Amino acid sequence: MLSEVKLVTLGVSDLERALSFYSQALGYRLQARGEVDPALAPLWRFDPTLRGRWAVIAADDSGLGRIRLLQFDAPGQRLWHAGNLYNGSGYYALNFRCRDALATMQAVTAAGGSSAHEPSYWEVSEQVAVRDSINDDPDGIRLDVFSYERGGELRGALETEVSVVQTIAIATRDVARSVAFYQALGFETLFDRVLDFPELQALLGTDRPVKIHNVNLIKDGHIVPGRVEMFAYLEMEHLPDAPLRDAAVPPNIGILSASLRSDDLDADVARVLTLGGQLIARQTLDLPGLGPCAVATLFGPDGEQLELYQPQ
């Protein structure tokens, strides 16, 4: 059985700058760091002649919703840009709960990130309403921060100013296919809505009015951190597909993978493959931030890279 998303990997252009940013903006602390072992190349799809460094940061010591930062000694390209905003597919953003979305947005910009707009109010459901702000870190990696206006008690107490990673968002051209894949891995629908409220363009920072289909999935129906979110821009079907699969590799800049813990790697790999996933590589080694593990990396339905690991 697979866990929720335990860790996400970000390719960054400057590791020290990224460590400083996430510390100042989100309060994330360094937990471990080291050199990238070339033996990881088949799993992570990078040129083994490159040299890299990694660091794992976290909001707390729970082991939930952590971030692994990677920097290599070759320049990389940003995965997302104006040319693939509406038709790209792959990991798009990370989502964080905070006590005050405006204060967190201000901390992001003060630390060297950017924000398109002050937090927007929107109603997730009859019970839940939030203020939500879309921001970018210094490398343009999208960070969605929100605070509850009502209904926060339904998600439990917030122990830190900014939470562990709540969701990893996947841009898709086929929401139903992606949802079915993750439901088969034990995720359940938390909400499923078409969003087209007036403030959506300002919230997302788009150059035109937009409508999106948004689905949020929660592991086993109750594990709040480490959720998976799918979204698709509607009425953009005329645009050709622009998958990030081949570009989402080191040393490029953006969200590269999501890591889920397995209690039976052979069975979980077999299950992902029967659901249409594609195996990249399998190895047993010391996995940065996670220790000695049997590891498999695979592609999900939108070309997103999943890292499944079983501690040894």
| 253, 79 contact by CB (below 8 A) | yes
Question: Residue 176, Cβ neighbours under 10 Å: how many?
Answer: 12
Rounded Cα distance, 57 and 110, in Å? 20
For 254-299, write each residue's pLDDT tens digit.
Answer: 999 999 999 999 999 999 999 999 999 999 999 999 999 999 999 9
Q: What is the pLDDT along the chain (312 residues), one digit of tens a residue?
A: 999 999 999 999 999 999 999 999 999 999 999 999 999 999 999 999 999 999 999 999 999 999 999 999 999 999 999 899 899 999 999 999 999 999 999 999 999 999 988 898 878 788 888 899 999 999 999 999 999 988 877 677 899 999 999 999 999 999 999 999 999 999 999 989 998 877 778 778 788 888 899 999 999 988 889 999 999 999 888 889 999 999 999 999 999 999 999 999 999 999 999 999 999 999 999 999 999 999 999 999 999 999 999 999
Rounded Cα distance, 249 and 44, in Å? 7
CA-to-CA dists, residue 51 to 32, 276, 300, angstroms:
18, 33, 27
- Based on DSSP, count helices (H) and strands (E) in the chain, helices before strands: 6, 18
For 141-157, write each residue's pLDDT tens digit.
Answer: 999 999 998 887 767 78
Which residues are CB-neighbours of 8 under 8 A, at least 6 positions away?
66, 67, 68, 91, 94, 165, 168, 255, 257, 258, 259
